[in-house]
């Protein structure tokens, strides 16, 4: 992910900042913005101060299911890790659309998910499916819906 030297990263549903802090430590030119509930972000701020990385971190408390709220914009990478699978398909489509709108030209929207139906090991598949509904076909459908809307709205 760091090969093209991205500078501005947006972590959607970044929780208490494991990924954000790792990215900030990786490259002194990187700035990370994290969207999440206020409680998670308070803990993230504490973690960032403790790690000496708070200066390049921005946090935006938000209800991510309020689709009227646009994400901040101009990012080289929008990152959604183990996040979309919390939601129903219509919300996933809207979140992907808002994520795409947050990208700078040439930016990348990266999704990391443990799809329960794509685990080679049966136990891993069962573990990944605990309380989660987003299978790989469901993700493909949501992504296609997002692409179709973009094509028809431009």
Ligand X SMILES: C[S@@+](CC[C@H](N)C(=O)[O-])C[C@H]1O[C@@H](n2cnc3c(N)ncnc32)[C@H](O)[C@@H]1O
96 C-beta neighbours (distance < 10 Å), count: 24
Instruction: Give the separation between CA 107 and CA 103, rounded to whole angstroms.
Output: 5
Among 21, 30, 32, 36, binds ligand X (CB under 6 A): 36
With contacts defined by CB under 6 A, name the span among 9-17, 21-29, 52-60, 119-127 that binds ligand X: 9-17
Each residue 79-98 as x (binds ligand X by CB under 6 A) or -, in order, gives: --xxx--x------------
Q: Please, what is the minimum distance in Å from the beta carbon of residue 124 to ligand X?
A: 17
Q: Interface with ligand X includes 140 (CB under 6 A)?
A: no
Instruction: Give the separation between CA 148 and CA 140, rounded to whole angstroms.
Output: 12
Q: Please, what is the minimum distance in Å from the beta carbon of residue 137 to ligand X?
A: 21
Q: Interface with ligand X includes 37 (CB under 6 A)?
A: yes
Question: How many Cα atoms within 13 Å fall on the side-chain side of residue 64?
Answer: 26
131 C-beta neighbours (distance < 10 Å), count: 6
Instruction: Give the separation between CA 113 and CA 95, rounded to whole angstroms.
Output: 15
Residues that bind ligand X (CB under 6 A): 13-15, 18, 36-37, 40, 62-65, 81-83, 86
């Amino acid at each position: 992910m760091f090969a093209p030297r991205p500078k501005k990263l947006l972590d959607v549903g970044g929780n208490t900042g494991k990924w954000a802090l790792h990215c900030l430590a990786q490259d002194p030119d990187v700035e990370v913005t994290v969207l999440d509930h206020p409680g998670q972000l308070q803990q993230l701020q504490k973690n960032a101060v403790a790690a000496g990385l708070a200066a390049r971190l921005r946090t935006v408390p938000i209800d991510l299911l309020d689709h009227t709220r646009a994400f901040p914009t101009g990012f080289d990478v929008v990152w959604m890790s183990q996040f979309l699978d919390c939601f129903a398909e219509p919300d996933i489509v809207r979140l992907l659309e808002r994520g795409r709108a947050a990208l700078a030209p040439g930016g990348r929207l990266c999704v990391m998910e443990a799809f329960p139906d794509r685990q080679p090991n049966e136990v891993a598949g069962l573990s990944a499916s605990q309380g989660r509904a987003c299978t790989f076909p469901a993700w493909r459908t949501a992504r296609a819906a997002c692409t179709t809307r973009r094509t028809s709205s431009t």
